[in-house]
Structure 1
Amino acid sequence: MEITELIRHDIFDLFENGCIEQIYFGSDKKYFYPYYGRLKEIDFLKRIYPLENMVTTDERFNNVDEEMWQHTINNDTWNFGWVFNDSRFDLMDGPDSTLLEFLCEVFHPISITQG
């Protein structure tokens, strides 16, 4: 069985938008879990990808590590969930093994949010 594009979209949508628990007598609760857990996004991705060796799409930087730092930490110009559609990370269109490794890292004890 393969992980279809529809399933991938559903997984990414859950991380990007969270889910709502309908409460019949009271206010609904929205649950949100950032895929990188308690880690910083860049530190989470470094556990899976060699960001320092990946090619940047921005000529101002030497690698994805520098590009990502600029756009997620320094200026915060990339929307949350950008990684799901960035072809360099192969999460949307890559092999199932890439997505499965990513998901295993999401739920690794080092990443899991406390509290």
Structure 2
Amino acid sequence: MCNGFGDLDEIAFLSRLYAPAELPSSQVSLDTAEGDITQHRYNNYDWEYDWIYTDERFGLSDGPRSRAPAVSQMVHPEVRSDDAEAALLAELVDSLVRRDGLHPWQTSAATPSAGHAASPRLS
């Protein structure tokens, strides 16, 4: 099973899409979302691996379109260096986004958001 964050740690991956160092903490004892992640994923190991999908600060539970940018980053060549793993993950993602009524496509590797993307299906 491949890691959703690719070759990056969770904070580095999320920093490509959000600003964890600027998002508020969910606790009074910490200042930022980055502090929450460091405390609970790296220090205490008391957050589940899929915590990101239920954390409202990142909005990934708001439906398929809210997850598209993160999913695209999962197969980005700067995030995942193993081409075979990226291809396998892209194939899986493509089949899942089709079920959500989205149309997947591969973007140019020359763009900052290279990887895969999805848009509403027009047909």
Whether these two folds match at TM > 0.5 is yes
Offset at residue 99 of structure 1 (A): 1.1
Aligned equivalent of 1:102: 70
TM-score with structure 1 length normalisation? 0.66
Letter of the 1:74 partner, please give it. Answer: N
Q: Which aligned pairs between 1:1-115 and structure 2 lie closer than 5 A?
A: 32-93=1-62, 96=65, 98-114=66-82
Deviations 1:16-71 (A, max 9, x none): xxxxxxxxxxxxxxxx1211011111211111111111111111111101111000
More helix by share: 1
Q: Which amino acid aligns with 2:69?
A: E
Partner residue, 1:15: none
Matches of 2:64 and 2:22 in 1, distance apart? Answer: 20
Runs of 4+ in 1 over 2 A off after TM superposition: none
Q: 1:94 to 1:59 in 2, by over 3 A?
A: farther
Give the TM-score normalised by the residue count of structure 2. Answer: 0.62
Long gaps (5+) in structure 2: 86-123
Secondary structure at the aligned position of 1:53 is classed as coil
Q: Percent identity?
A: 28
Root mean square deviation, CA, Å: 1.7
Q: Which runs of 5+ in 1 are unaligned?
A: 1-31
Q: 1:38 to 1:52 in 2, by over 3 A?
A: same
